[in-house]
């Protein structure tokens, strides 16, 4: 397992009528550092909800609350997020 912080940012917050686009940036803990921060893009609110439930970082109620927080503040950080190697693969280095 790879543990670190997952930051979710609403990338197109300045265009709320558009389909939401989210940047998920994962930074592994120092002991597991894998080339710095890694990013994945998710499009759509339902897709983000499904993703959060799929990586098992919380309950449905928690994931729904996180979505509300993201849409109010524009971002959310989830510390101590754990990924399997398979879940980590889609992330790419932040440029």
The C-alpha atoms of residue 56 and residue 93 are separated, in whole angstroms, by 23
- The reported pLDDT for the residue numbered 34 is 61
Q: What are the structural domain ranges in the chain?
A: 2-93
Do residues 94 and 25 touch, judged by C-beta distance below 8 A?
Answer: yes
Helix (H, G, I), strand (E, B) or coil at 73: helix
Each of the 95 residues of the chain gets a pLDDT tens digit; together they read 888 999 999 999 999 899 999 999 998 887 666 667 889 999 999 999 999 988 877 789 999 999 999 999 999 999 989 888 888 888 888 86
């Amino acid at each position: 397992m790879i543990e670190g912080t997952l930051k979710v940012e609403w990338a197109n917050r300045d265009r709320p009528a558009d389909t939401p686009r989210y940047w998920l940036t994962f930074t592994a803990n120092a002991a597991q550092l894998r080339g710095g921060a890694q990013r994945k893009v998710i499009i759509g609110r339902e897709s983000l909800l499904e993703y959060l439930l799929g990586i098992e970082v919380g309950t449905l109620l928690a994931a729904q609350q996180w979505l509300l927080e993201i849409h109010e503040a524009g971002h959310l950080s989830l510390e101590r997020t754990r990924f399997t190697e398979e879940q980590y693969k889609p992330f790419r280095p932040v440029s």
